[in-house]
Amino acid sequence: MKKLLLISVAAAALTMGSASAAELKFKPGEGAFSWDSFEAFKSSHGDLAGQTISIFGPWRGEDQALAESMLAYFSEATGVNVEYSSSENYEQQIVIDTQAGSPPNIAILPQPGLIAGLASKGYLTPLGEDTQKWILDNYAAGQSWVDLGTYKDKDGNPAFFAFPYKIDVKSLVWYVPDNFADAGYEIPTSMEELKALTQKIVDDGGTPWCIGLGSGGATGWPATDWVEDMMLRTTTPENYDKWVSNELKFDDPIVVAAIEEFGWFAKNDKFVSGGAGAVASTDFRDSPKGLFSSPPQCYMHHQASFIPSFFPEGTKLGTDADFFYMPAYEGKDLGKPVLGAGTLAMITKDSPAARAFIEWLETPIAHEVWMAQSGFLTPFKSANAETYGNAALKKQGEILLNSTTFRFDGSDLMPGAVGAGSFWTGMVDYVGGKPAEDVASQIQKSWDTIK
């Protein structure tokens, strides 16, 4: 999530809104929405009329308007007055508010590390076994989401505190369909096929990849997504979890191998537009532009779902540009892992309305209203995929639903000095020619100095 925030547009220091006053975006009874879930929720929660619930989240600007369009239906169903607020420095603000004893009823956050800190200090209310079981039964790769929402309380006991809602997908490879069609290339469905296609493009006289790590003071972060994806494709989810918690050391051969998997693509002059020497100096926002040149400077680009914001103006997704799932190795039997990020909702001040809001997130309509607009993906199996606002969102949603494992962005789970520090700089050193073993040892040393 730190990476996505780097490209977000700063909004006002504090934004507030009332979903109660918002008009319903879609008229009940129309479209492909699961209106029966809305009516059933309304029938069972109508006794909350007149109550007020405060919700604090990360969404500002356009995202806030989208969030409030969903919250309006919760208010309509329950009669609860919803007060949504956010802050440009929301990570610090939620800590200040909880420590001061004036938290919101609901906090929605994208940083598991921050959530872990709140849980360990006793600032969160467990959501209970019923909610945990609901996630397990109703979300694709349910155990992954239960694990993501589970943290240790102030006594060190694990409990389910956080409900995953609104997910981002990172395991994507972008391409131009016309370029693939002209060259006769097919979408690879395994890592073996992806590597074979990479070599074939070179054999045909082309360049397979555009890769750019440049991002000002955050240069190097795009490589961490590559390494995280490769960890999920070369070793078990359990080892991934041990890695992000420092139980599996950075200089372990398993991690070094994942770094070298990234290097197979990024450190070959023939595989990368501009050669391997240009990888670190190419800005990540400029990197995908090579897909659209004539003739193409590259055929593929690995990046998260936000990257179309930096495509040429007027680019139509699905026609001018498209994406496919970053495939797993067929021969390693690791399923279909997906790397991503997202937000989690938790109760920071208990009340009947707060409990009702968590139950609201278990209804398809709470997902579909946002799905039908923009920027929202869900692993909820009962949400109607036909409500997605465009084909690209629907396709990304299918990737989530077909996943066997979901793991949160690893660098965001690591201490900032590592995940947003030595990991970034280490990847720059690596593409610059430093051996993977040396880079991994350097990163591990930085972790060892954290007390």
pLDDT digits (tens, 9 = 90+) for 74-110: 999 999 999 999 998 999 999 999 999 999 999 999 9
pTM of the model: 0.93
Question: Residue 7: pLDDT above 80?
Answer: no
At the top level of CATH, which class does the domain 2-169+339-408 belong to?
alpha beta
* Token couple for 349: 């001040």
Q: Dump pLDDT digits (tens) for 127-155.
A: 999 999 999 999 999 999 999 999 999 99
Contacts of 235 (CB under 8 A, 6+ apart): 254, 257, 258, 334
Domains of the chain by residue range: 2-169+339-408, 172-337+410-448
Across all residues in the chain, what is the average pLDDT?
Answer: 94
| Rounded distance between C-alpha atoms, residue 88 and residue 173, angstroms | 31
At 288, the pLDDT band (50, 70, 90 cuts) reads: very high
Query: What is the predicted pLDDT for the residue at 9?
Result: 35
Select 172-337+410-448's CATH number: 3.40.190.10, 1.20.1530.20, 3.40.50.970, 3.40.50.300: 3.40.190.10
One fold for 2-169+339-408 and 172-337+410-448:
yes
Strands (E), 350-420: 405-408
Provide the terminal-to-terminal Cα distance of the chain, rounded to the nearest Å: 24
HSE at residue 418, side-chain half, CA atoms within 13 A, is 25
In the structure, what pLDDT confidence band is assigned to residue 23 with cuts at 50, 70 and 90?
A: confident
